[in-house]
Amino acid sequence: MDWKAFLSNNKDSILKRWLEYLLDTYPPDTQRFLKIQKDQFANPVRSIFQKDLSNILDWLISERDEKELKQLLDGIVRVRAVQDFEPSSALSFIFELKEIIKEAFMSKGSIDGELKATEDIYRKVDRIALFAFDVYMGCREKIFKLMADEAANRVSGLLRKKGLLSEIPGWGKSQANNIS
């Protein structure tokens, strides 16, 4: 059996283990909520995780275009980027997929005959991780830009309030851009 067929046939169990691993990266109270509350409206984070992990597995099995991969990673990585995780912890779930697939092969007694297949899968999982890192960094850059803009607005507002900064009447952005 080729590795794509193997993953397709075992997708549900692999997905279940992968989601379980991801949820286990959270503190105990959060884990309990994420694991118990399965309603997509009461727990949208779990819903995003489950949908995105499933889509990533589908992508891995079907080997669709890599451009599509960033879109598939966006939801889950965006959630992880705004949470209090180190970058390595935020994206560790991707690398765990290798171990989960290896365990699935071993449970079927087929790891020896699938060495070449696991190398191919591992290479593709590494590729997923690289794309996830790009998405993660893009999200973090947006967050830091928003924080910097907010800090600048606060400082500007305080300076105006104290009379240390004022607008020049009739001075618009177009005039400011003409000054070099």
- 70-123 pLDDT per residue, tens: 889 999 999 999 888 899 999 999 999 999 998 888 887 765 556 667 788 889
Q: How far apart are CA 4 and CA 116, in angstroms?
A: 12
**Average of pLDDT values for 140-151?**
84
What was the pLDDT predicted at 116?
67
Instruction: Please answer whether residues 128 and 94 qualify as being in contact, where contact means their C-beta atoms are separated by less than 8 angstroms.
Output: yes
Answer yes or no: are the C-beta atoms of 133 and 126 closer than 8 Å: no
Rounded Cα distance between 70 and 60, Å, is 13
pLDDT for the residue 166: 63
Q: What is the pLDDT of residues 12-53, one digit of tens each?
A: 999 999 999 999 999 999 999 999 988 889 999 999 999 999
Q: What is the mean pLDDT of residues 119-139?
A: 91
Closest Cα to residue 35, out of 16, 54, 53? 16
Task: Give residue 180's pLDDT band: very low, low, confident or very high (50, 70, 90).
Answer: very low
Tokens found for residue 143: 């967050």
Q: What is the pLDDT of residue 112?
A: 55
- Going by pLDDT thresholds of 50, 70 and 90, the confidence category of residue 171 is low
Region 145-174 average pLDDT: 74
Predicted pLDDT of residue 178: 55
Report the 10 Å Cβ neighbour count for 23: 19
Q: Which of 27-31, 152-156, 165-169 has the highest mean pLDDT?
A: 27-31
CA–CA dist 5, 53 (Å, integer): 18
